[in-house]
Structure 1
Amino acid sequence: MADQATAQEFDILVLGGGSGGYATALRAVQLGLTVGLVEKAKLGGTCLHNGCIPTKALLHSAEVADHARDGAKYGVNVEFQSIDMTAVNAYKDGIVAGKFKGLQGLIKGKGITVIEGEGKLTAPDTITVNGTAYKGKNIVLATGSYSRSLPGLEIGGRVITSDEALKMDYVPKSVIVLGGGVIGVEFASVWKSFGVDVTIVEGLPSLVPNEDASIIKVLERSFKKRGIKFNTGTFFQGVEQDNDGVKVTLVDGKTFEADLLLVAVGRGPSTAGLGFEEAGVTVDRGFVITNERLHTGVGNVYAVGDIVPGVQLAHRGFQQGIFVAEEIAGLKPVVVDDINVPKVTYCDPEIASVGYSEKAAKEKFGDDRVESTEYNLAGNGKSAILGTGGIIKFVREKDGPVVGVHMIGTRVGEQIGEAQLIVNWEAYPEDVAGLIHAHPTQNEALGEAAMALAGRPLHG
């Protein structure tokens, strides 16, 4: 009987085995705590199975397709024939399966108790799974998010979300993408490379509206050059579908027709029906409200990841999971503000950013207290080899540190590591300008941009 009680009581009991949940569990066991991890589906959550990993696999297949079409430009004579979705899906699913197997082995090897089933918070120290109550001295809510739709817009038939798009076994002739944010532009990019006629419909005035204005301008110009059509500034009104396709109507009366409608209007927090409010946790529009240290204000209940208001990114949830484990262990970790969480959008061209946009910086510090510079990747040797254009933009507080780095171009996401260090360590452009950047790399462009902002551009 004592063994059974021990098996059902943990130092930390985590509800949700996605990025935030399993990161909490892994860091907690490193710190000598016992952990129970409740998961109703598969460890790894949305990111591994229906988000980050499979979508980036599709994007890599899309990149290879573009290389095949453009091979002659690089002196490689190949003939692009078609997209074999059976093979594409086998490649994508193989990556996911391998990562899933590795995660399962890691969790098991660390001695984390995985509790399979749909859990519900039934008290500030209790999660009930399939009728069995499990106790936790500390509870961490990490239930993730789901693909949202719009009021009155039902998913089904030819109206799909990213979940269905990832399972498609054919290449449609045409698609309307509802939403010009991260999910929308990534799928638009994939499908265009696969030979699909793509139109993005975005109610706000621009694509990727949360990015810096300079980045938006380059992306929209690049998409036009690629033949990706988009209509911005007018909201969706309705959709009709039949056996032949869909017809989308906007509030201004414009209509668009295609084979499919992809609804890519963001993700909602998965908190409904899980007992949070009944246990005293404050929930606002589905999001769990916490203080800056991710505590809900109820007992020893914390929350991490997409259910906490802010940017919905796997690495943010992952870092929050580590933070909470260390907080519970008494290590007093440093809070990382959402503004300093790096972001990458894996369309073609890629977008990467961290910190304040120029507009946001001016709102915070004042119009006359902000300086910025843009370095054109056309002047970068490695970018010329890759055949990409784009820019790297630095934003600084006048006479102060860099507060934002914004990039667009092929593979610039690989440069976000140094960019987030610059912003998070409050480096001055003069500090970065003095660092050595290997040649020829796109990474050099960060150094060039810093030199320019420090008042001593080398090639300007």
Structure 2
Amino acid sequence: MNSSHAPLVADVVVIGGGTGGYSTALRAAALGLDVTLVERDKVGGTCLHRGCVPSKAMLHAAELADGIAEGRDRWGLRSVVESIDWPALVATRDDIVHRNHRGVASHLAQAGVRVVRDTAALGGPRTVRTAGSGTWTARRGIVLATGSRPRALPGPAPDGSRVVTSDDALFAPGLPESVLVLGGGAIGVEYASLHRSFGAHVTLVKAAERIVPLEDAEVSRHLRRGLRGRGIDVREGTRLLDAEVTPDGVRARIVSPRGDTTTLSAARLLVAVGREPVTEGLGLAAAGLGTDARGFVAPADWSRLETSAPGVHVVGDLLPPPSLGLAHASFAEGMLVAEVLAGGAPRPVDYATVPRVTYASPQTAAVGLSEEQARAEGYDVVVGRMPLTAVAKGMVHGRGGLVKVVAERAGRVLGVHLVGPHVSEIIAESQLIVGWDAEAGDVAQHVHPHPTLSEAVGESFLTLAGRGLHQR
């Protein structure tokens, strides 16, 4: 323990150094607060070290492999991927992660954030006990940002090789010849897409009736069609009965919606059935707090993300819905809490306008309500659609895709939904459209560049406004 006689005091103490935690710390320090950030591992959290950043780095490499195949099959480029140098690919990925980590650590140091490498738990509503540095007192408040971990299924435990989770799939040895992916949310779809691009035979099993079930049903169908067109065996409404590790990998029994049982074998089983908050050892009871039935720490005041213990705030994956468990939402939550602790009155996070993206091939991206959600909420809905292949750049890509706009009849835009190549890069304007309550006619006044995929977004709004140029 710390033997110094000086009391350990800060304005703000943050427990957890992932996206939510370090964004809180950086913003609070920028506002003049004295900040201590306690992180038991490396700052950056799951997103930087095991999730968003390394997975997108490898998905970029997968896209390059797909591009070489497209060059050969579609464009007459006599090219081929002779082999994949796995150590070289991993080295590039790790360099990207390392440089990002150095950048975050440097930002924290330059901002004057005190980073303590330690485990921490609440000692009360204003105190944080650490294993090595002592007990800290927070003058303004405490921020809980301990993140999440992959949910487990009954059956063989992850071993980092034959049975893996989304946290360790990227770090498993080599490239498997076949992969069985359990889970058809964004994470499962992305990993299925990645492994297929690298040549694996992939089976994707989803218990729900469709993949990416939180997205618009039409987008889900387009994504399923795109994945199957790439040779991925997508099985929706299918449950895992049991699985066992074999000398060559895994063997699993699944049951179809009709009740048919099938046995599948694969070199690797990848479990991607969601994530759960990490709260054990956090000492919630010391501050009079607990978790809900799903393990989340719910705020008493969503506008401040403050719990029922005054001065104790929560950000990131510890939050239940409507928080989204997305890194960019965590950034916004961290900045909000920092501004609250600095005495400000920031606007609450508008989760309805936070973009949602699946970085598979094809990609999906969305903001706002799906058609089904809008109708269920009682809106008089009109829908505008534009195939990406109806614009020149979509024809160049030649991979299909769709723009779908959901709006009130003679009213505001409620949701924008995209599926196709690179749509993650053109969703940002739709956040402004939905967030600023724009109507189709408002957007139709703005000119989109030609030839681009974004042109299809503009054309969708022209059509809804009765000014369609290439479609009626």
TM category (shorter chain) comes to over 0.9
Q: Residue in 2 aligned with 1:116?
A: 117
Q: Distance in 2 between matches of 1:5 and 1:437?
A: 64
1:232-279: CA deviations, max 9, x gaps?
A: 112212101111121111244222111111000011101122111342
1:44-68: CA deviations, max 9, x gaps?
A: 0001000100000110010011112
1:407 aligns with 2:410: no
What residue identity is the alignment partner of 1:129? Answer: T
Which contiguous aligned blocks of 4+ residues in structure 1 show a shift greater than 4 angstroms? 3-7
1:286 aligns with 2:295: yes
What residue identity is the alignment partner of 2:353? Answer: N
Q: Does structure 2 conserve the Cα–Cα contact (< 8 Å) formed by 1:68 and 1:79?
A: yes
Q: Which runs of 5+ in 1 are unaligned?
A: none
1:310-363: CA deviations, max 9, x gaps?
A: 211000111000011111222211112322211110000010001000000111
Q: Does structure 1 conserve the Cα–Cα contact (< 8 Å) formed by 2:193 and 2:360?
A: yes
Q: Residue in 1 aligned with 2:107?
A: 106
What residue identity is the alignment partner of 1:392? Answer: V
Q: Does structure 1 conserve the Cα–Cα contact (< 8 Å) formed by 2:126 and 2:137?
A: yes
Q: Residue in 1 aligned with 2:237?
A: 233
Q: Residue in 1 aligned with 2:167?
A: 163
Matches within 5 A, 1:287-366: 287-290=296-299, 291-293=301-303, 294-310=305-321, 311-366=324-379
Q: Distance in 1 between matches of 2:233 and 2:191?
A: 13
Q: Residue in 1 aligned with 2:39?
A: 39
Q: Residue in 1 aligned with 2:272?
A: 264
1:65 aligns with 2:65: yes
Distance apart, 1:211 and its partner CA: 0.8
Distance apart, 1:7 and its partner CA: 6.8
RMSD, aligned CA? 1.5
Give the 3-state SS of the residue equivalent to 1:374 in structure 2. Answer: strand
Q: TM (normalized to structure 2)?
A: 0.94
Q: Residue in 2 aligned with 1:26?
A: 26
Q: Which runs of 5+ in 2 are unaligned?
A: none
Q: Distance in 2 between matches of 1:54 and 1:7?
A: 40
Q: Residue in 2 aligned with 1:135?
A: 137
Aligned-pair identity in percent equals 45
Give the stretch that moved more between structures: 442-451 or 174-183: 442-451
Q: Does structure 1 conserve the Cα–Cα contact (< 8 Å) formed by 2:406 and 2:416?
A: yes
Give the 3-state SS of the residue equivalent to 1:256 in structure 2. Answer: strand
Q: Distance in 2 between matches of 1:80 and 1:454?
A: 47
1:249 aligns with 2:258: no
Q: Distance in 1 between matches of 2:289 and 2:411?
A: 41
Give the stretch that moved more between structures: 308-317 or 122-131: 122-131
Q: Distance in 2 between matches of 1:74 and 1:21?
A: 47
Q: Does structure 1 conserve the Cα–Cα contact (< 8 Å) formed by 2:164 and 2:172?
A: no
What residue identity is the alignment partner of 1:134? Answer: W
- Aligned CA distance change for structure 1 residues 409 and 6 (closer, same or farther; 3 Å): farther
1:417-438: CA deviations, max 9, x gaps?
A: 1011111111111000001211
Distance apart, 1:153 and its partner CA: 5.1
Q: Does structure 2 conserve the Cα–Cα contact (< 8 Å) formed by 1:282 and 1:296?
A: no
Distance apart, 1:370 and its partner CA: 1.1
Give the length in aligned residue pairs.
456
